Structures are given as structure tokens and as C-alpha cells.
Structure 1
Amino acid sequence: MSIEHRTLQVHGRVQGVFYRQSTQQEASRLGLTGTVRNNEDGTVSIEAEGSAEALDALEAWCQQGPPAARVEKVVVRAGEVQGYREFAVQRGK
């Protein structure tokens, strides 16, 4: 299985609605590794690694997010594999 890396930046009402924790749960369920963090501009950034199929599933999930989120758009970029060992929530902005 080939491992890919994607960076997702999620725009909308995505802070203060358990977006990071929900992303961690979904990514772990999909077998992905990486990180999720809040940004000062109100967006959420996700670095995720795993199979293309699992990454596609995470992208689709991010379009909705948890129930209280209101996602406006998700910007996705491919990147270089970093070799994350788990999927972690990064605290702070």
C-alpha cells in the first residue's frame, strides 16, 4: 500500500465545535496518522497520511465535520510524507 500525505485547510465555523477532536476520531477510525490544529485565522489545519482511499474518505468527512460545524470550504494540497506515528490534536493556535 502506498502512503500519501495531504494537507487540508478547513474554512467556516470550525473552531469551538469539537472539530479537532472529531477529526482525530475519524482519522484514527480510517487508519490515518497526522495532526489537526486550530489556526489564528479561524480555520483548522489537518496534516494526514495514509492510503489514498482513507484520505479521500477523510476529505469527504471534512466537508461536513461534526454536527455543530458549518464548513464553507476545504482546501486540499498534496505534500511530502512526514512519517507520523499517530493522529494527534495539537493544542493552541
Structure 2
Amino acid sequence: MSDCCVKARVTGKVQGVGYRAATRERALSACVTGYARNQADGSVEVVLCGRGEAVNGVIEWLWKGPPAARVTHVELAGIDWQEHDTFVTR
């Protein structure tokens, strides 16, 4: 599978529960770059770039998140390739 970038909007109880930090750990362990940042509406925006199978694995995890999270929806959109050195929280 080739390289790709995906933007996700994750909704539910995803702020104040360690969601961004846990997403960073999961992405780094999968060698996926990008970022996770809180949005004013209570959602978390996540950009994932890397090998397709690695990105898909992190996407599956986004639906679960860390133990305190309660994910209700993950909206996905393919985006143009972005160069990121690593995965960061913003």
C-alpha cells in the first residue's frame, strides 16, 4: 500500500482525557507522522501521514482512544501529502 495522508475529526468525550497524547504515542509506534489538536467545538482534529496500512491501523484506534475517552464519531477525509518530521500535539 502506498503513502497517504488523512484528516480525521474525532467527536465525543475526547478533550481532557489524554486523547491527543495517546494518539501521539499510537502514531509514533506505527511510524505515522502528523498532529492532533483540540478544536473549539470539543472535537479533536488529527492528521495522519505514512504508509497506508500504518495509517489505517491508527484510524482504527481513533475509534477507541484512551480508556477515559468516549468516541462517538470519526469523520475522515483524504488530503494531499504533507511532510511532517514526527507526530506532535498542538
TM band (smaller chain): over 0.9
In the alignment, the residues of structure 1 paired with residue 84 and residue 10 of structure 2 have an alpha-carbon distance, to the nearest angstrom, of: 20
Q: Amino acid of the residue matched to residue 54 of structure 2?
A: A
Taking structure 1 as the reference length, the TM-score comes to 0.94
Segments of 5+ residues of structure 1 without an aligned counterpart are: none
Equivalent in the alignment of 1:41: 41
Give the letter for the 1:49 counterpart: C
Alignment match, 1:14: 14
1:28-77 deviation digits (Å, cap 9, x = unpaired): 00000001000000000001100110111011100010000000010010
* RMSD between superposed Cα atoms in Å: 0.9
Summarize the alignment of residues 1-80 of structure 1 with structure 2, pairs less than 5 Å apart. Answer: 2-80=2-80
| % identical aligned pairs | 37
Q: Structure 2 regions of 5+ residues with no counterpart?
A: none
SS of the residue 2:28 aligns to: helix
Runs ≥4 in structure 1, deviation > 6 angstroms? Answer: none
